Amino acid sequence: MNDRNRERIIHWDDPQNSVRDANAVSGLDYLLSIKEGKTSPPPIAFLVGYKISKIEKGLAVYNFNPKEYHYNPAATVHGGIISTILDTAMTASIISALEKGVGCLTTEMKVNFIRPITADSGILSCEGRLVHFGKRLALAEGRLKDSKGSLYAIGIGSCIIFKTMHKENNENSTHKTRYHN
């Protein structure tokens, strides 16, 4: 039963190369830069294997090709992977509406798994759509579908919205932006 002939090697860029400098770049411009290959995606995109396929203000669409290395013990894609993709698309729809000097972080999300996903499901599309954008909180919904429009999972998520401030003059700091509420 020792059939370990499968291997996956993942390469990614320095995570600091994908950090948004919120004081210099709007959320939409940042996401477009990733889509166009000018900015490296965050390492999680390489690990899970998703890519931006469409981005506009209030809308983010990611493609995901499920593989067996995403499987849980039931031989279906793990719910954490599905949740990660939904969180990514929903948060990106919110980021796309952020002006310079404003950031966001996920505060809560809920996911409903509708049908199992396997490697045979084909390329899936996860659409995140902005539902509400307030001064302190934004809400988005996400839908994970196949090419025929069959729904596999749906989610709703919220992000806290906050102003950013320039980093302090500290040579040891690797972060481009400090955040505060």
| Domain spans of the chain, in order of start | 17-179
What phi and psi values does residue 168 have, to the nearest 5 degrees? Answer: -75, 155
- pLDDT score of 124: 98
Report which of 71, 74, 75, 87 is spatially closest to residue 8, judged by C-alpha positions.
71
The dotted CATH code for 17-179 is 3.10.129.10
Chain mean pLDDT for the chain? 92
Report which of 141, 173, 178 is spatially closest to residue 162, judged by C-alpha positions.
178
The helix-helix angle for 79-95 and 27-35 (nearest 10°) equals 130
pTM: 0.89
Indicate whether 62 pLDDT > 90.
Answer: yes
- pLDDT score of 1: 58
- pLDDT score of 12: 94
Which tokens belong to 1?
């039963």
pLDDT band, very low/low/confident/very high, at 98 (cuts 50, 70, 90): very high
Mean pLDDT of 40-68: 97
Distance between CA atoms of 111 and 26, rounded to whole angstroms?
28
Distance between CA atoms of 17 and 173, rounded to whole angstroms?
14
- pLDDT score of 5: 84
Label residue 119 exposed, middle or buried (CB < 10 Å: 0-12, 13-18, 19+): middle
Say what percent of the chain tops pLDDT 70: 90
- Bridge partners for 143 per DSSP: 127, 154
Mean pLDDT of 133-156: 98
Q: 106, 138 in Cβ contact below 8 A?
A: no
pLDDT band, very low/low/confident/very high, at 2 (cuts 50, 70, 90): low
